[in-house]
Amino acid sequence: MKVFRTEDAQDACDEIVPLLRTGGVIAIPTDTAYGLAADPFNEAAVERIFKIKGRPEAKPILLLVDSVAMAESVLRPTDVFYRVVEAFWPGPLTIIMHAVQSLPAKVTAGTKTVGLRWPIAAFATALVSRFGAPVTATSANRSGMPSAVTAEEVRRQLGDSVDAIVDGGVLPSSAGSTLLDLTVDPPVLLREGPLLFEALAEFFEGRIRRRVA
């Protein structure tokens, strides 16, 4: 397993993009914790993610994009979607939308919805841009374990099961990004992360709900 550093982003992308195109799975730094990057349209790569994590197949896998235009390639946008992303992207907000039919059911876990985020994290965005399409970003940890906020934590949990790790130092939060469901009206906050409920409530003028536990 190879380890790259974000300071060497150009050289890292030169090696990682071909790996992604051939079914590789790479641990990368995101806005919050480390995530597992793979090609969501490569069935074998997505299957590897589930095995690496020990993840239940009923759980969908979120994706990273580098623009609203790239997001439009895998989701069915709405007016509310455009309003929200104009206000909060790029940033640690994952938005759930109805997926296009071409997105593999394994990625959506049969829900026909997809969670998308345009990150601020420079390396993650650079990698997506070089790849030219969305990549997966489910957390780089064993299912049920804390999300990894250092490359060493990724190594301890996942060992050599990933093809490479990009070391971006200590990341801000193991709690993950804020997760907002825009497939319903009013929208539902599924998980509170760096973007707080109060900020979203102000944006939606109170027309937002929290998920009932």
Determine the pLDDT at residue 57: 82
Determine the pLDDT at residue 213: 58
For residue 128, what are the contacts with CB-CB under 8 A and spacing of at least 6?
64, 65, 66, 70, 134, 135
149-172 core/surface letters (b: 16 or more CB in 10 A; e: else) = bbbebbbebbeebbbbbbbbeebe
Share of the chain above pLDDT 70, in %: 99
Determine the pLDDT at residue 121: 93
Q: What share of the chain is helix, strand, coil (3-state, %, to 5)?
A: 35, 20, 45
Closest CA to 30 of 175, 196, 181, 162: 175
Determine the pLDDT at residue 41: 97
Query: Which residue ranges in the chain fall short of pLDDT 50?
Result: none
- Half-sphere exposure at residue 53, Cβ-oriented, CA atoms within 13 angstroms: 30
* Calpha distance 170→186 (Å, rounded): 36
Determine the pLDDT at residue 168: 95
Q: Please give the structure tokens belonging to residue 123.
A: 């390396």
Q: Which residues pair with 117 in a beta bridge?
A: 64
* Calpha distance 92→107 (Å, rounded): 20
Determine the pLDDT at residue 7: 86
Determine the pLDDT at residue 176: 82
Q: At 210, is the secondary structure helix, strand, or coil?
A: strand
Cis peptide leading into 186, omega within 30 of 0?
A: yes
Give the residue extent of every domain in the chain: 2-206
Determine the pLDDT at residue 9: 86
Determine the pLDDT at residue 107: 96
User: Could you tell me the CA-to-CA distances from 200 to 46, 94, 185, 210 in Å, in that order?
Assistant: 32, 13, 14, 11
Looking up tokens 């992360």 gives: 193
- To the question of pTM greater than 0.75 for the whole model, the response is yes
CATH of domain 2-206: 3.90.870.10
50 with 57: CB under 8 angstroms? yes
